[in-house]
Copies of this chain bind each other. A is one copy, B any other.
């Protein structure tokens, strides 16, 4: 049993003004933080709505499809109404009355988000087919839907991106970080990604906020679409929101470990070799490979 003084002293210190800082203590106690767990549930439910029969309870059948999709979607609405409101509250000025605004904004956005779902499903189906076509180890698009990290990451991303476009704060980022943690794929919710997108293996892929990716693009593990540098404002803080990541045109393949940096364009149909470090635009149909092969030292006497 710990000595009473020890415990009380530490608690007092941790509650003291000296240990206090705006960062360590959230001082808007009347506003709840978004719940990562609830957002995880919303994504689970959306997955079951977009791909019924794969995910969610095993009881989906043609008989009950309206009820299954309807009730799951209604739960999504409930969760997002609350969580998006909390996202707005996270950044709104402290005056409490604003929170009615946050509430209203949240509900408007959820209604808009709902209408996008059919097109989201269409996009994700193209991603599943791309996975099947791009991976010789895949047996069917269904297998990709059910267990490929690329699809898991893209479901989260395409949801997060729609919320990002609707200017929802914080929530898209949380949804993306969930996929990041599960798959090792880090796509910023701001990234624009066209149909039929596939990431093989995926671990270590990074796609920055202002990236724009065309149709039918394939990335391998460890690819970075990053920023080369970013301008600072007069206070030395990075200026937010400036386009600083690559434009990848249709039909591009980028092999593992390649790094593409800055607001450059990779032309349609180009192929970027593994481990390449690229900071300038290339025209369509270009092949970029490592400049120098490695040195092979055979054993002595050979």
Interfacial chain B residues near A15, Cβ < 8 Å: 65-66, 69
Q: Which residues of B contact A136 (CB under 8 A)?
A: 209, 227, 230, 238-242, 244
A226 and B14: CB pair below 8 A?
Answer: no
Chain B residues positioned under 8 Å from A94 (CB to CB): none
Q: For chain A, give the interface size range.
A: 35 or more
Chain B residue with the shortest CB-CB distance to A170: B143
Q: Is the CB of A23 within 8 A of B142?
A: yes
**CB-nearest residue of chain B to A79:** B59
Contacts of A182 in B (CB 8 A): 181
Decide if A23 touches B128 in the complex (CB within 8 Å): yes
Residues of B within 8 A of A244 (CB): 136
Chain B residues, Cβ within 8 Å of A69: 11, 14-15
On whether the beta carbons of A74 and B66 are closer than 8 Å, the reply is no
The answer to whether A104 has its CB under 8 Å from any CB of chain B is: no
Docked Cα-Cα span, A180 to B282, in Å, equals 34
Q: Please, which residue of chain B has its CB at the minimum distance from the CB of A173?
A: B147
Known pairs A133-B238, A139-B240, A147-B170; list 11 more (Cβ under 8 Å). A1-B29, A1-B30, A11-B69, A12-B66, A19-B118, A23-B128, A24-B52, A64-B74, A139-B170, A148-B177, A289-B297
Subset of 5 A-B contacts with CB under 8 Å = A25-B53, A149-B177, A203-B203, A220-B226, A226-B256
